[in-house]
A and B are shown apart, each in its own frame.
Chain A
Amino acid sequence: MTATAPTGPATGGTGPPGRPFAPAAPVPAAARPVVTGLGVLSAAGHGLDPLLDAAAHGKAAFGPVTRFDVAARRTTRAALLPDHLLPDHLPLDGPLPLAGIVLDAIGQACRRAALTGAQAAALPVLLAVHSDERTGATTRAVAAGTAARWGAPGVTRVYTGACVAAATAVADAAVLVATGRHERVLVAAGHLVEPGVFAVFDAGRALARDGELRPFSAGRTGTLLADAAAAVLIEAAPAAERRGAAVLARLAGWGRAGDAHHVCRPEPDGHGLSRAIRSALARAGAAPAEVGYVNANGTGSTLADLAEARALHRVFGPHTAELPVSSSKSVHGHALEASALLELAVTIGSLGTGLLPVNAGALGPDPEIGLGLVLDGPHTARPRYALSLNSAFGGANTALLLAAA
């Protein structure tokens, strides 16, 4: 792969370093990034349309895990890709199936963006995948495939930071575009449910005992893991306009903040997440009341969902009760390092269709949550801004703010 070769600062990484601007300074409108390409594979099927249909109607995609033995686990369900979408590369615990689905998503995104070879030739590729003994091989396979099919120079950077890995990559891509370092950046991510991570999530009692992912609901018992791959092309608005590319959504703002609280538990009052949201709003120059939809992190965890709800109340105040909120994980599951990009894809698609994702699996209100959950679909809305939120181990929080094209 032709990744960030340490041959010197002039050629390595994402470009020459620049000067910092003031914290959360509004991004000039002409420099704001837009999304012009998008690809996705999920348990709902191949491409964005089946995923949007499932999200709009609250059709959860969970089923029994048959790919490996789960007889010894408390939880035996996940949201897995249909077998026909898995590349014919075996064994399934090797690196190539993951690279295969990531390359499929990249192909969808590049075709949708109508990217030419010349435009792809210098394209930075930011990849979010799980950190394990297969990370390097997966990255090399994605780099080789991207170079061979699209002429991109390889994988520029690999993000392994758990459930905010892909959102971190999106924020970095936004900075690269907004600061003029690159006209366009491709962000890709992938996750396949595999036996080891499934076993330790099960042993850590993170998985839903009742086999359903019920974000923010009374009676929620945990999350469910998911397969997914997704890719987005983020581009400077003037560059997209010059080449006549169709804009799917504007990436109006982004923010990142840490809890400074615990190795894996969220800060109970959601202070870190609320700072990430405020940072995203500040970059967009948007007021909280202008946000018309939140695709929440909502993993189905008792503690984390409550902390997230408190963060939303802190930022949106009296507006919170009318603010439509759902976690699309309730439909497509938790794809760990790929989750943020999968949820960004759902949010972008929902801005396009005007149909908000349903918060599936709800059994009834949790009085401590107090959110305006989207419980029935199809729910029609045309939000000016939509937020996609993610949180992770280590107290990491990200907020991506989208605006309709």
Chain B
Amino acid sequence: MTATPPPLPAPAAYGLRVLAEARRPAPGAPGAPGTPEEPPPLPGFAASGFNPLVADTAEHCLRARHGAPPAPGRTALLLASRSGDRATARAIDRAAEPGRRTAPLLFFQSNPNAVLGHLAARWGLTGPVVAISPAEAVPGEVPADALDAAALLLADGDAEQVLLIAAEATPDGHRAVAVLLAAQPS
């Protein structure tokens, strides 16, 4: 018997309001679990589809709010992933195997910040850049840990908005959700 996961809290419970939201793959759309289509390739991120999906999901979310770059104000970036980019992590581990030529591009993919740098540069996001690994995460949902971290970033005051991207690697492919968050009015 599979345990029912506890209900996920709403952003409002953390004093957050959702300005925009995007899910990739979109339910029922090409690229959804079980379908072959992948998100658009992201130059330099060749070892797996994880980072291209993160970028594509964030792109949809930011477009829904701002239309086109740049985003106004100060926006923090927060990437939450329990699984991390497993395929790239394995590629990095294998890089040290005897006789194997190490791909130089794996260097900047060795941590989760790199894709956030791509998004920040494209959209002019000048707030804090943060990556966390929640203990519990349901693919396609925003973990409570990430909402809590986003609320803390806004409380600190180095950004007025937080672009939170939750991404997970699953046996059926990668799943991501992005939400653009701001503090609820006092």
Contact = CB atoms under 8 A, between A and B. Distances in A.
Contacts of A262: 117, 121
Contacts of B77: 258, 394
21 contacts: A4-B143, A5-B135, A8-B6, A69-B96, A69-B98, A157-B149, A158-B133, A162-B111, A200-B104, A200-B110, A203-B103, A204-B104, A258-B128, A259-B121, A260-B125, A264-B108, A272-B126, A394-B115, A396-B113, A396-B117, A396-B130
B84 A257 contact: no
Contact of A179 (B76, B96, B110, B155): B155
A200 B6 contact: no
A393 B156 contact: no
For the complex of A and B, 6 pairs with smallest distance between CB atoms: A204-B107, A13-B148, A394-B113, A3-B135, A195-B96, A394-B117
From DSSP, what is the main secondary structure of chain B's interface residues? mixed
A90 interface: no
A18 interface: yes
A263 interface: yes
Interface of A: 1, 3-9, 12-14, 17-25, 68-69, 72, 93, 130-133, 135-136, 139, 155, 157-162, 164-165, 168, 171-172, 175-176, 179, 195-206, 255-264, 272, 275, 279, 336, 392-396, 398
Most chain A beta-carbon neighbours within 10 Å: one of B44, B77, B98, B129: B129
Most chain B beta-carbon neighbours within 10 Å: one of A68, A261, A393: A393
Contacts of A17: 13-16, 148, 151, 155
Given A4-B148, A7-B6, A262-B121, A132 B15 contact: no
Report, as a range, how many residues of chain B touch the other chain: 35 or more
Interface stretch (B21-29, B56-64, B85-93, B170-178): B85-93
Contacts of A69: 96, 98
Contacts of B74: 23
Interface string B130-166: 1111111000000111011101101111101000000
Contact of B92 (A4, A157, A179, A197): A197
Interface string B111-123: 1111111101101
B183 interface: yes
B155 A19 contact: yes
B96 A263 contact: no
Contacts of A176: 152
A9 B113 CA distance: 27
Contacts of A19: 15, 155, 183, 186
B7 interface: yes
Interface of B: 5-9, 13-16, 44, 74, 76-77, 81-82, 84-86, 89-90, 92-96, 98, 102-108, 110-118, 120-121, 123-136, 143-145, 147-149, 151-152, 154-158, 160, 183, 186
Contact of A204 (B106, B125, B135, B186): B106
Contacts of A133: 84, 86, 89-90, 93
Nearest to A392: B113
Given A19-B15, A20-B155, A135 B133 contact: yes
B126 A393 contact: no
B96 A175 contact: no
A198 B96 contact: yes
A6 B144 contact: yes
Contacts of B113: 161-162, 164, 392-394, 396
A153 to B, nearest CB: 12
Contacts of A20: 154-157, 183
A143 B95 CA distance: 30
A258 B113 CA distance: 11
A32 to B, nearest CB: 14
Contacts of B95: 195-196, 199-200, 203
Nearest to A197: B110
Contacts of B125: 258, 260
A139 B160 CA distance: 31
A162 B112 contact: yes
Contact of A159 (B16, B105, B130): B130
A130 to B, nearest CB: 7
Given A157-B132, A260-B120, A396-B113, A6 B5 contact: yes
A131 B111 contact: yes
Given A132-B92, A159-B131, A263 B108 contact: yes
Contacts of B128: 168, 256-258, 396, 398
A137 B149 CA distance: 22
A171 B159 CA distance: 14
B110 A160 contact: no
A160 B84 contact: yes
A196 B93 contact: yes
A394 B119 CA distance: 9
A12 B9 contact: yes
B155 A21 contact: yes
Nearest to A3: B135
Contacts of B133: 131, 135-136, 139, 158-160
Contacts of B5: 6
Contacts of A130: 111
A3 B136 contact: yes
A263 B114 contact: yes
A68 B111 CA distance: 22
B136 A5 contact: yes
Given A160-B111, A195-B96, A196-B95, A258 B120 contact: yes
